[in-house]
């Protein structure tokens, strides 16, 4: 079990099915159910969401790496056994009437929270990733995998449908034809196919995977403004799906105007001219532009 983390001054989180480690500006979230190939449960969902609350609130965290424990599996899907919490596809507060509008997919609650992360998310898939083990990786900003990784959007082979908002995320990442093929066949595919189709950016020997992920995280942490990265993440995820580029132009214009007058912009120019490493003063917790967030978060209904 990893050490407890504080959120604010009065709430402590003691994780049991994940590990959260923070060091040198990089947070690592490890799915940790060794006896179950890191299968997904309601507890894991809640703890992962809480971990993202921690990393968002911690200005020392510049990037978040997500991986699974061990050398076999990132996440073997939902744990449907009684000891795993039974059916994890819906909200724990669900009433017995399944037609009730409050029914919510647990994987979707997690991926929507990832979508709103203020810190960049880097996935390091270290083995089998099927079902929610695959769909939870879609909101990662950068995805790497080991050469023994296997992926499967297996829902049609279980008599259900894709979840975790993957019908929104997956076509944006790999294109509609590939998304349709993977989801309609439900077949397992290997790391090379994931690379060829654009699901992951690189494949690594298992023993080198975390070093590669940390290298990317380190590049972000050492060279960039936290506010710039947070704004860029929100803009690219949200504005790329707008109907017209004018929608992006409106936010671009406001963002570049506000940030160009910030301490981070002054430090970025000074460090470039002085040929030294930057030391950006801005904090995501306090110094985001005054119009952020610019969107209205939809309610679930």
Cβ count near 163 (within 10 Å)? 22
To the question of pTM greater than 0.85 for the whole model, the response is yes
Spatial contact of 161 and 236, defined as CB atoms under 8 Å apart:
no
Please tell me the predicted confidence (pLDDT) of residue 103: 82
Domain ranges of the chain: 5-221, 224-301
Please tell me the predicted confidence (pLDDT) of residue 5: 58
Cis amide prior to 293 (ω within 30 degrees): yes
Cβ contacts of 4 within 8 Å, gap of 6 or more: 12, 13, 14, 15
pLDDT digits 0-9 by tens, 68-116: 999 999 999 999 876 665 555 554 444 445 555 568 999 999 999 999 9
Q: Can you name the CATH fold of 5-221?
A: 2-enoyl-CoA Hydratase; Chain A, domain 1 (3.90.226)
Cβ count near 46 (within 10 Å)? 18
CATH superfamily assigned to domain 224-301: Lyase 2-enoyl-coa Hydratase, Chain  A, domain 2 (1.10.12.10)
Greater pLDDT, 296 or 103? 296
For 257, the token pair is 């105007």
Over the chain, what is the mean pLDDT? 92
Cβ contacts of 75 within 8 Å, gap of 6 or more: 31, 37, 38, 39, 40, 68, 128, 129, 130, 132, 133, 136
Please state, for a pLDDT cut of 90, what percent of the chain lies above it.
87
Question: For residue 148, is pLDDT > 80?
Answer: yes
pLDDT digits 0-9 by tens, 202-246: 999 999 999 999 999 999 999 999 999 999 999 999 999 999 999
């Amino acid at each position: 079990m990893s050490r407890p983390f504080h959120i604010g001054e009065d709430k402590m989180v003691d994780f049991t099915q994940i590990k959260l480690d923070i060091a040198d500006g990089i947070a690592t979230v490890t799915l940790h159910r060794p006896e179950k190939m890191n299968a997904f449960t309601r507890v894991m969902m809640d703890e992962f969401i809480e971990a993202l609350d921690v990393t968002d609130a911690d200005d020392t965290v510049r990037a978040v790496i997500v991986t699974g424990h061990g050398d076999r599996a990132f996440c073997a899907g939902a744990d449907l056994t009684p000891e795993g919490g039974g059916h994890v596809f819906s909200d724990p507060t669900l009433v017995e009437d399944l037609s009730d509008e409050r029914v919510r997919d647990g994987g979707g609650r997690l991926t929507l929270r990832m979508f709103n992360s203020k810190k960049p998310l880097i996935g390091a898939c270290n083995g089998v990733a099927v079902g929610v083990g695959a769909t939870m990786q879609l909101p990662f900003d950068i995805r790497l995998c080991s050469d023994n990784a296997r992926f499967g959007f297996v829902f049609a082979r279980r008599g259900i449908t894709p979840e975790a908002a993957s019908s929104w995320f997956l076509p944006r990442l790999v294109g509609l034809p590939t998304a349709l093929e993977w989801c309609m066949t439900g077949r397992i595919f290997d790391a090379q196919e994931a690379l060829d189709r654009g699901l992951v950016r690189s494949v690594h020997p298992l023993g080198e995977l975390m070093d590669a992920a940390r290298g990317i995280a380190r590049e972000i942490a050492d060279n960039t403004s936290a506010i710039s990265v947070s704004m860029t993440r929100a803009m690219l995820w949200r504005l790329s799906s707008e109907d017209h580029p004018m929608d992006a132009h409106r936010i671009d214009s406001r963002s570049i105007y506000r940030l160009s007058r910030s301490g981070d912009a002054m430090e970025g120019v000074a460090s470039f001219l002085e040929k030294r490493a930057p030391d950006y003063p801005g904090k995501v917790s306090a110094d985001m532009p005054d119009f952020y967030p610019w969107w209205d978060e939809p309610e679930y209904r």
